[in-house]
A and B are shown apart, each in its own frame.
Chain A
Amino acid sequence: MAQKMTGAEMVLKALADQGVEHVFGYPGGAVLPIYDELFQQDKVEHILVRQEGGAVHAAEGYARSTGKVGVVLVTSGPGATNAVTGLTDALMDSIPVVCITGQVPTHLIGNDAFQECDTVGITRPCTKHNWLIKDVNDVARIMHEAFYVARSGRPGPVVVDIPKDIQFATGNYVGPANIQHKTYRPKMKPEQTAVREAVEMLAAAKKPIFYTGGGVINSGPKASKLLRELARLTGFPVTSTLMGLGAFPASERQWLGMLGMHGTYEANMAMHDCDVMFCVGARFDDRITGRLDAFSPNSKKIHIDIDPSSINKNVHVDLPIIGDVAYVLEDMLRVWKSKAPQVDKPALKAWWKEIDGWRARKSLKYKQSGDVIMPQYAVERLYELTKDRDPYITTEVGQHQMWAAQYFHFEEPNRWMTSGGLGTMGYGLPAAIGAQKAHPNSLVIDIAGDASILMNIQECSTALQYRLPVKVFILNNQYMGMVRQWQQLLHGNRLSHSYTEALPDFVKLAEAYGWKGMICHKAGELDDAILEMIDTPEPVIFDCRVAALANCFPMIPSGKAHNDMILGDEVEGEDIGGVIGEGGKVLV
């Protein structure tokens, strides 16, 4: 039944009808009618961030840690433009976000009015879809469509731009049940012939590998369960991209660790030498494939993806399966169980033997000796001391992010939030705030870098205001370490602007924001300090001073194949400049 109300009321009603409990936002002139409605209701809680970019990353952290849609509310002009980085981030990593932006009144659009910008024009390439509402009677339909588009198929961010006069105008509201989108119907269920063929290919494999990705997380916890079941049934090795960590438990014997540029030796060698690659919700990103013409040259490839444009984008696959991971795996499991195929046991045994040989290479080995804390050691200790608390981990971008991916281990999906596709410094703190809001009693830690953390440091205020006890664990190397590593590797060790001089005193900074600040210089004191941090009921910035010049290995340099990795123990001291040039230190 249609109900009469104002556009602003409809926005709140639609949010409530969509089951939204939390909105991350920042007010301004063009959204004041909606803020006024927010004030007069109590179904939706608003979390006031300190910069709109923070709102989108918080919504991303919220969405990734719950599987729900994250919701953002910002004003026109600068509010909308500040949201653009977060929207692009969510698009690259397939995170469902609905961002509502205020707009100048319809009669002023195009007039360079105060705080006007072409929001739909600016956000068209960085959203899955966007709308400018020009009639109050469209508000309800478009709001419901926005949620449908954001969460369906390959999830992504959407923008709903609402002029201020539309927020004031009165019209008809309709509920979500009465809305069906005209054109958008993603394909969820796979072709059964493809499913049967995939089972046959897997069953016949002699050197198989599961290459899993963010699509498993997107598909929901059931997909992770089914993945585990199929992996156990087949006994095949499993690796994952950065975005898929947690879908398969890191403690299982079948787990090879992350693959790709900073992946483990065994994962990358197995990808290179496999005969059947089973790609589950991953997109053959360039951090994974390295040099394309040398990427897993002898394998037949099966690719499950909900987005047909991910198929054959970078790498030719032999058997595409379009559909949702959970649906596809469910069908594959059914076929596998009913056929009960005989896998080639001797071949698999030999394959595992080969893999165990690569494992024995211990590619994540590092040396911790003396007082100076190695960054790898810091993450390892953080993991050991927190793993029993089922923590949620976010990261910023840089070496610390890779060390977190390598040395923190995940048993469950939705525990790991990182900016993979866009690589947005400043993502981790607001994302941690979003995750903490969704899981108020859980331990949420942002593993941060000294440079990245400054990009959204203002969100410390948000955490304090809402009593969100996030922990920011800074691997402080006083460098933009990842940049420095590439300069050492490729630019003759000329460290152009990658040393962060004049860093703030992080302890005082924490205190200024009403947080607790801690610092640790010595390996011997690290455990106690970490324990103190996690036992602190308030938010904490932990300034962990680590070896300044440590580098992140293993590493596949650009233009190299998977079997062309640089391993940490082959690089002498901090001199990595010669590695690529000589090509001699690379392993086969």
Chain B
Amino acid sequence: MTKVTMTVNGKTVSADTEGRTLLSSFLRDGLGMTGTHIGCDTSQCGACLVHVDGKAVKSCSVFAQEVAGAQVRTIEGMANADGSLSVIQQAFQDHHGLQCGFCTPGMVMSAAALLAENPKPTEHEVRHYLEGNLCRCTGYHNIVKAVLAASGQDVSGLGVAAE
């Protein structure tokens, strides 16, 4: 067992790890931060996506010991300081971008990384960027809409029948 220390959502935290402990289990089991979800074992679903030093990373694809000392941000650190939903989170609620909520933490973190890189993405760019995040519930329609809305774009015409 090796103690690993890092900064998660602005707080310095540490927990014991084995060499094989993934960042995802460090967060969930080591720190009890269960907002980060595990949906697969082949790094394909994106439910576990967090930010490591500002970059989108699937937390099941790195060992905790590899990111010792890093700045990590998870879904638990996404709301505004006063506890209200951030713009992206609010857009997911407003546009019904979640159903069961299991993919949602990863989706929100992925969307935040996209908008940090590309503040006004096209629908195509959003779909392409979110390709690594699986959602089985929504059919992505409302997720894409939420991300576009969060970027300040008008989504009122999307998916509406041509009059």
Chain A partners chain B: no
Residues of chain B touching chain A, judged by Cβ–Cβ distance below 8 Å, are: none
Report which A residues bind B (CB closer than 8 A).
none
